[in-house]
Chain A
C-alpha cells in the first residue's frame, strides 16, 4: 500500500507541477502547483509520503523541464514536505482534537516555506551567484504562500469529501 501511495502522489506532484500553471498578469510569469501538492501530502498523508512524493515528484517535473534543478528540488522539496508534516502532525489538546484544522498546520507551512526559500537561495547562489538567486526569492516566497493556502484548503476539502484518505497516512 505504501509503495502505491508514494507512486501515485509522486505522479500527481509531477503532473500538477508541469501542467497546471497559474498566470500572473502583473509579471507575465506563472506559478506552479507543486508546493500545493507537497503541503496536501504533508497535512493529509504524513511525513514519509510528503518527503518522498514531494522530493521525487518535483525532481521528475524538473527532469522534464529544467534538469539542472532536479537534484536541488529532490532535497529541498523533500525536506520542505517532511518539516511541514512533522510540525503539522504535533498532536492537539483533547478539547481541540476533533477539529479538522490544526493551528500547527500554519507553523508547518511556515517551516516548509523557510526551508524551500533558504534551500533554493543557497543552491542557486552556488550555481549562478547571489544577485540572480536573490531575484527569485520573492517569487519562491509568493509561490509557497499560495501553495500553503491552497494546500490547507485542499486538505480540508479532500478529508471532508473522501474521509478514507486518513487511512493512507504514513
Chain B
C-alpha cells in the first residue's frame, strides 16, 4: 500500500556495500552544497546520471526528476530576478530581469537540486530499508534506536490498513446519519470530519503499544544480558573491495572539488 523507492535487483549498485554507498551519498550531498564552480556541479551530476544509466535503466531517471519538476520550474522563474549583478540580458521597465549572475545562480541551483535528488534516488533504489538500518547500526546508532525504527517500518502497513478500516467504518456510519459525504468539500468541513477518524486511529494505535511492549519484553529487550542481537553486514574481502572503490571515488571527487574551488 505504501511503496518505497527500493526495487530488488542484482546490479553492481545493488551488490555494492550499503555502508560505502551511505558514505558516498553524504559526501556527494555535502559537495553539492559547497560553493564551487558550475563545472564541478555539472561533473558530479553527470557522474550520478552515468551511474544510473550503467546500473539501472534510462527510464529510471524520470521519476525523481518528475517529483521535483515543480520546484525546478520555480527555480527557473524566481531566481534570476533576485540576482542583478553582471551584464544585463533582459530588462523589463528598467528593471534587470535576466543578468549573467542570475543565469549562473539559476544553473547552479538546478544542478544542485537535481544532483542531490538523483544521488538520494540511486541510494534508495538500490538499498533496502533493512540494509540502511544495519548500516546505521554499524556506524554507531544505538541498538534501541534501530529497533524502534525497524518496528516502525514494520508497523507502517498495519497502521495504513487500520486507517483505511477506520475511514470505511466512519463513512458507513455517516451514510446512516445523512448524506454528509456528498457535495463539494470545503477545508473546514474536511478537517471537522477528519477529527473523529483521527481520534479512533490514535486510540487504536496507542492500545497496541502495551501489547508490543509486552512482546518486546518477552523477547528480552531491555535486559542486561541480551537474548537477541542484530545481524551484521558482511565484512572481509567484499567490504575491503567496496571500501577501496568508495575511497577512490571520494578521493577523485575531493580532488575535483579542490581544483574547482
Contacts and interface: CB of A to CB of B under 8 A. Distances in A.
Q: Do A and B bind each other?
A: yes
Interface of A: 1, 3-12, 14-16, 18-20, 22-25, 33, 36-37, 40, 52, 56-57, 60, 63-68, 70, 126-132, 134-135, 146, 149-150, 153-154, 157-158, 161-162, 165, 168
A127 B112 contact: yes
B159 interface: yes
Nearest to A15: B159
B93 interface: no
A126 B105 CA distance: 12
Nearest to B78: A131
A127 B113 contact: yes
Contacts of A37: 202
Interface stretch (B14-22, B46-54, B143-151, B241-249): B143-151
Nearest to A165: B206
Chain B interface secondary structure, helix, strand, loop or mixed? helix
Contacts of B195: 150, 153-154, 157
B113 A150 contact: no
Interface residues of B, number: 61
Specify the main secondary structure of chain A where it touches its partner.
helix
B38 interface: no
Contacts of B207: 162
B105 A12 contact: no
Contacts of A3: 144, 147-148, 151, 213, 216, 221-222
Nearest to B206: A165
A66 B4 CA distance: 11
A20 B201 CA distance: 12
Contact of A7 (B117, B151, B185, B186): B151
B148 A10 contact: yes
